[in-house]
Chain A
C-alpha cells in the first residue's frame, strides 16, 4: 500500500510534467500537422535558463521560496516562449508550403542544434538545482508520507492545464486557434489571422515546455543537455496516447503515462522503465493511431 501510494503520487507529479510538454506537441500538431521535434529541447532550455536565473538573481532570497519560484517559472516561460517564436520564424515558416517531410527534417535539425547549443554553452556535465529551493516538508496523510514538492508540482501543472483549457474553450483567441486547427483555409476565409495563431501556438507551447523544464530541475535536482529528447519522446507518447491534436487528450495522456511508468518501474522492472513509454507508443500507433480521445479522420483520395 505504501509503495503503491508513493508510486501513484510520484507518477502523477511526473505525469503532470509530461502533460505540460505534451500540450506543446499537441497544439503545434493541431495547427500545423507537424511534429515539432525541437520541442523537447525547448524544455531543456527552460531548465537551464531557470537555473541561470535562479543563481544570478537569487530570486528565492528576495521573494521568499514560494513567490521566488513563481517568478522564476514566469521568467523562464517568457524566455522560452521567445525562443519558440524565433524557432517558428527561422525553421518552420519558410517551409510552410514545402512537403511535410522537409519540415520534419528541419525540426530534427533544429532539435540537434538546440540541444548541442545548450551543451556548448553550459557544458556536457550534469547541472544541479539548489536543494533548498522549496522547504523540505512532508505531509502526513493517514500515515502515508507525501512530500510537499510532489503536491506543488502536480497542483501547478493542473492549474496551468486548466487555465489553458479555459483559454482555448472560452476566449475569442482560443476559438481562433481551434478554428485554425480544424481547417486553416476556412479559418483564413473567416478573417482569422492564421499566422498570428501559429505564432501564438509557438509562444504558449514552448512556455509550458519551459516551465516543465524548471519543474524537472526542482523535482529531480539535476539536469542535462540530452534530457530534452527523452522527456520529449515521452511527452510525445503522452500526446499520442491521448490523441494528438487534442488538448484534454494530452493532459489525460500525460498523467496516465506518468502513472503507468511509475507502476511499471516499481512492479515490473526498473531497468526497463525507459522502454515502457516506447512500447506504449508503438502499440498505440499500431492498434489505435487516433489515441484514447482522438477522432478518426477519413482520408480523401
Chain B
C-alpha cells in the first residue's frame, strides 16, 4: 500500500526551479533512496514533504490525506519524522532531553498540569523518559543519556538525530545524508540500523551520497537531476540506466 505519494511537485525560488514536476511513490514498509548530483533538489523535496517549504504546484499525499500547507509540527504528529543534513541537535541539552523533544508530540500535559503536577502529568513524564531511553537503546546510545549532545562524536550525533526522530513514533522516517561524516565501520552499523528500523515497521526515505550504502540498503531508488526525476527503479536497474550513469554515477566513478 502506498504510504506517501508526491504528484507533479514543483517548487521555484525566484527564477530558479529547484524541483520540477516530480512524482514518485513510497510504499509502506520499504526503504527508498533519493539520489542525484549536488544541487539536484533532493533536500528541497524533503523540505517540501516536511512542510518547511510550500510547493508552487502539486500534491503530497500521506496516508490518503493531503499534507500540503500543513505546518511542520503537524506533519510530524501525522507520522513523518526527519533528520537534518547539517546536524541540528539541541547542543546544550542532554542526549535524553534531545530525544524527549521527539516524545513531545505524543504527550498532552500543558502548563497548568505541570504547575499542579497532576498524577496524569507525572505518569506521562515517566513514560516519556522510558520511551526516550527505548529510542536511545535502539540506536545504541543509552549509556550516553546524560551527556550533553555537543559532547557526542560526529557519528553518534547522527545516531542521536535518528533517535530523536524515532521518538516521534513515525510511520515514515526521512533521513538526509545519515552517513555524512561517518567512517566505514559506522556506515556498516548504520545499514544494519536502517534495516532494523524497517523491521520495526517504519518506512524509510533517504538521501545519501555514499553509493555503496544506497545500493546495499535501498529497495527502490529515485534519481533527480536539475530538479527533475530522470529515473526510478530497483538498484540494479538504476546502476545500469545510461541516463543515470551519465548524470551521476559516471562522474562519480571517474573520481
Contact = CB atoms under 8 A, between A and B. Distances in A.
Interface of A: 298, 301
B13 A298 contact: yes
A298 B84 CA distance: 18
B52 A301 contact: yes
Contacts of B14: 298
B47 interface: yes
Contacts of B47: 301
A301 to B, nearest CB: 5
A300 to B, nearest CB: 9
A157 B191 CA distance: 66
CB-CB nearest 5 A-B residue pairs: A301-B52, A298-B13, A301-B47, A301-B84, A301-B43
SS of A interface (majority): loop
5 contacts: A298-B13, A298-B14, A301-B43, A301-B52, A301-B84
A301 B42 CA distance: 13
Nearest to B53: A301
Nearest to B50: A301
Interface of B: 13-14, 43, 47, 52, 84
A298 B13 CA distance: 8
B58 to A, nearest CB: 19
Contacts of A298: 13-14
Contacts of A301: 43, 47, 52, 84
A298 B43 CA distance: 15
Contacts of B13: 298
Contacts of B43: 301
A298 B47 CA distance: 14
Nearest to B16: A298
Contacts of B84: 301
A301 B47 CA distance: 8
A301 B43 CA distance: 9
Nearest to B13: A298
A298 B18 CA distance: 13
A11 B52 CA distance: 44
Nearest to A298: B13
A298 B52 CA distance: 12
A23 B161 CA distance: 43
B149 to A, nearest CB: 16
A301 B88 CA distance: 10
A301 B85 CA distance: 9
Contacts of B52: 301
A298 B14 CA distance: 10
Nearest to B14: A298
B19 to A, nearest CB: 14
B135 to A, nearest CB: 24
A295 to B, nearest CB: 10
A154 B195 CA distance: 72
A255 B161 CA distance: 50
A253 B84 CA distance: 40
A301 B52 CA distance: 8
A5 to B, nearest CB: 44
A266 B65 CA distance: 57
A38 to B, nearest CB: 28
A301 B84 CA distance: 9
A301 B13 CA distance: 14
Nearest to B43: A301
B39 to A, nearest CB: 12
A64 B119 CA distance: 83
A55 to B, nearest CB: 53
A155 B52 CA distance: 49
A301 B50 CA distance: 12
A298 to B, nearest CB: 6
B160 to A, nearest CB: 19
B47 to A, nearest CB: 6
A298 B15 CA distance: 13
A97 to B, nearest CB: 15
A103 to B, nearest CB: 18
A206 B111 CA distance: 46
B78 to A, nearest CB: 20
